[in-house]
Structure 1
Amino acid sequence: MAELRPVDLATWNRAEHFRHYLDRVPCTYSFTVHLDVTGLRAALASSGRKAYPAQLWMLATAVNRFRELRMAFDADGALGAWDEVHPAYTVFNREAETFSGIWTRYDADFASFEAAATRDIEEHSRATRFFPKDGRPPNAFDVSSIPWLEFSAFTLDIPGAVRHLAPIFTLGRYVERDGATLLPVAIQVHHAVCDGYHAGRLVAALQELATGHEAWLSR
């Protein structure tokens, strides 16, 4: 079971930045990138696999690489970092034209995660409850998918969420441009734990996973 390991503010080199963007100037920010998923999309299509589990796995793998994206507060308000985090995500009910929020436990092995996520999606794709799968772990981060909408910017307005440190992702509809297939990914983070450098490192990791899909998709 993952632990929330304390972050020592007395020795953390970002402690001053953390306090500034948490208390003095509470600040979250969002941005949208377009990942080149040309090869990944083709490989998924040729193998008959669904894109959503692969996208979720990529996000979770990238997030789990970096401590600043796994930070949270404990019950007493102390800062910590989870050993591991899991994706909580939306599934669409086509008949009801609404969605539900479910989650799947992360597994570094793509095939294992894909099987579990596929089962969860199939089981809850016709759910009418907002949260049909019980037991969402506290060490989860949120992902939404809007596959009908192509966007170049997307912002979530969450009043009072200044202590929500986990990143939030929104996936859009594929964009075809100059022979490439691009996936819009909106990313919202808290400046108290994630600077532009860290955000750039996250995006680089996501693109690396997409470009190097043969290393994990064929397992």
Structure 2
Amino acid sequence: MDAPAPIDLSTWPRAQHFAHYRDRVPCTYSMTVEVDVTEFTAALRRSPRKSYIAQVWALATVVNRHEEFRMCLTGSGDPAVWPVVHPAFTVFNPERETFACVWAPYDPDFGAFHDTAAPLLAEHGRATDFFPQGPPPPNAFDVSSLPWASFTGFNLNIGGGWDHLAPIFTLGRYTEREGRTLLPVSVQIHHAAADGFHTARLVNELEELMAESSAWLTARREGEGA
């Protein structure tokens, strides 16, 4: 795993913003949006691949495009950026009514990522340990799913979480409105890492990627059968 690259505070445009929201007024914020996934769900019906894994991959793809969502702190408390971050995501155990957290290395090829992530869901669907693979790597960000309910607001309250700069995503149940399919997506952000502009760009890019899903969701990898 490559080490995170320190940010040069002397040239970083957000150096003052980071200091303000890290030290003087430490705060996080959340944004909940309904992402239009009409084309995405239509493409899923033509694909054997799993909806949840596709959602996780799409989030990881847009997160990895932007340094502000790959941020962490060095041992001295200075900001740094991971070269790549990996999604850690929940898998529900219906018998125990608990969940486990698993993670998969991000791959820009969706098919390759799916081939790695799908067996994890199958293997750990009855896990009794919270982290059946062991603790996620330090360059991981969290995704959880609430497929039992659609929501228009979701907020995490993290006690003493001022060192947690990675985004946290929560996905809800699809809802239908005026012929469109919508996916509730909530993202929790540390204000030292990103402002509203950055988060709005992230969710807009997520919606764009979902609209283009027929290009990546149903694409076959080399060696796959027809």
Q: How does 1:63-212 map onto structure 2 within 5 Å?
A: 63-134=63-134, 136-212=136-212
Alpha-carbon separation, structure 2, partners of 1:145 and 1:214: 23
SS in 1 for 2:165: coil
Q: Deviations over 1:108-157 (max 9, x none)?
A: 00000011110111110100111111252110000110000110000001
Alpha-carbon separation, structure 2, partners of 1:202 and 1:182: 17
CA-based RMSD of the aligned residues comes to 1.0
Report % sequence identity.
Answer: 57
User: Is the 2:30–2:188 contact (alpha carbons within 8 Å) kept by the matching residues of 1?
Assistant: yes
Matched residue, 1:60: 60
Count how many residue pairs are aligned between Structure 1 and Structure 2.
219
Alpha-carbon separation, structure 2, partners of 1:134 and 1:144: 18
Residues 28-37 or 45-54, more deviating: 45-54
AA at the equivalent of 2:130? F
Alpha-carbon separation, structure 2, partners of 1:135 and 1:17: 31
Alpha-carbon separation, structure 2, partners of 1:49 and 1:160: 38
Q: Tell me how far 1:200 sits from its aligned partner.
A: 1.1
Q: Deviations over 1:166-210 (max 9, x none)?
A: 000000000111111100000100111101110111011101110
Matched residue, 2:213: 213
Alpha-carbon separation, structure 2, partners of 1:174 and 1:46: 18
* Structure 1 ranges of 4+ moved more than 6 A: none
AA at the equivalent of 2:166? A
Alpha-carbon separation, structure 2, partners of 1:61 and 1:132: 25
SS in 2 for 1:29: strand
AA at the equivalent of 1:146? L
SS in 1 for 2:46: helix
AA at the equivalent of 1:149? A
User: Is the 2:27–2:191 contact (alpha carbons within 8 Å) kept by the matching residues of 1?
Assistant: yes
TM-score, reference length from structure 1 = 0.97
User: Is the 2:43–2:218 contact (alpha carbons within 8 Å) kept by the matching residues of 1?
Assistant: no
Alpha-carbon separation, structure 2, partners of 1:69 and 1:191: 11
Unpaired runs of 5+ residues, structure 2, are 220-226
Q: Tell me how far 1:28 sits from its aligned partner.
A: 0.5
TM-score, reference length from structure 2 = 0.94
Alpha-carbon separation, structure 2, partners of 1:41 and 1:128: 31
Residues 37-46 or 186-195, more deviating: 37-46
Q: Tell me how far 1:49 sits from its aligned partner.
A: 2.2
Q: Tell me how far 1:10 sits from its aligned partner.
A: 1.4
Q: Tell me how far 1:76 sits from its aligned partner.
A: 3.0
Alpha-carbon separation, structure 1, partners of 2:121 and 2:76: 34
